[in-house]
């Protein structure tokens, strides 16, 4: 579900930047790789496949962003500008938020005052 949401957000932002939006899938068909990029027959668009298991989700996000850059055949400095914009959009998927942000500490002994 997290991957699907990330793919939708990345696709939407890519379209807003007037980029060709690839399809995203997981896992890659080739065993043992983190990312594959398959271009469509007409050379426009394609599919970016990323491995999600046994790696940080942030790494998968990075591979998805790099896939957008590759599918669009971007070169510096445009590639760097687009990477930066896409990372800013995708930061929401790279920060793990704990459900219990406040920890309660209980003491077994009654509290005592120290003068």
**Banded model confidence at residue 102, pLDDT cuts 50, 70, 90:** very low
- Judged against a pLDDT cut of 80, whether residue 100 lies above it is answered with no
**Banded model confidence at residue 109, pLDDT cuts 50, 70, 90:** very low
| H/E stretch holding 46 | strand 46-50
Per-residue confidence (pLDDT) for residue 25, from 0 to 100: 98
pLDDT digits (tens, 9 = 90+) for 24-72: 999 999 999 999 999 999 989 999 999 999 999 999 999 999 999 999 9
The pTM is what? 0.81
| H/E stretch holding 36 | strand 35-39
- Judged against a pLDDT cut of 60, whether residue 105 lies above it is answered with no
DSSP conformation letters of 38-94 = EE-TTSS-EEEEE--TTS-HHHHHHHHHHHHHHHTT--TTHHHHHHHHHHHHHGGGT
pLDDT, greater one: 65 or 96: 65
Per-residue confidence (pLDDT) for residue 63, from 0 to 100: 98
8 Å CB contact between 30 and 36: yes
Per-residue confidence (pLDDT) for residue 114, from 0 to 100: 56
Average pLDDT, whole number, for the chain? 88
């Amino acid at each position: 579900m997290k991957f699907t949401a990330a793919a939708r957000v990345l696709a939407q932002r890519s379209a807003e930047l007037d980029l060709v939006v690839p399809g995203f899938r997981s896992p890659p068909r080739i065993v043992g790789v983190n990312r594959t990029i398959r271009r469509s027959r007409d050379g426009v668009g394609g599919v970016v496949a990323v491995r999600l298991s046994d790696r940080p989700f942030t790494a998968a996000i990075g591979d998805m962003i790099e896939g957008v850059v590759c599918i669009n055949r971007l070169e510096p400095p445009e590639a760097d500008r687009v990477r930066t914009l896409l990372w800013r959009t995708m930061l929401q998927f790279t920060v793990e938020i704990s459900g219990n942000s406040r920890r309660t500490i209980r003491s077994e002994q009654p509290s005592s005052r120290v003068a």
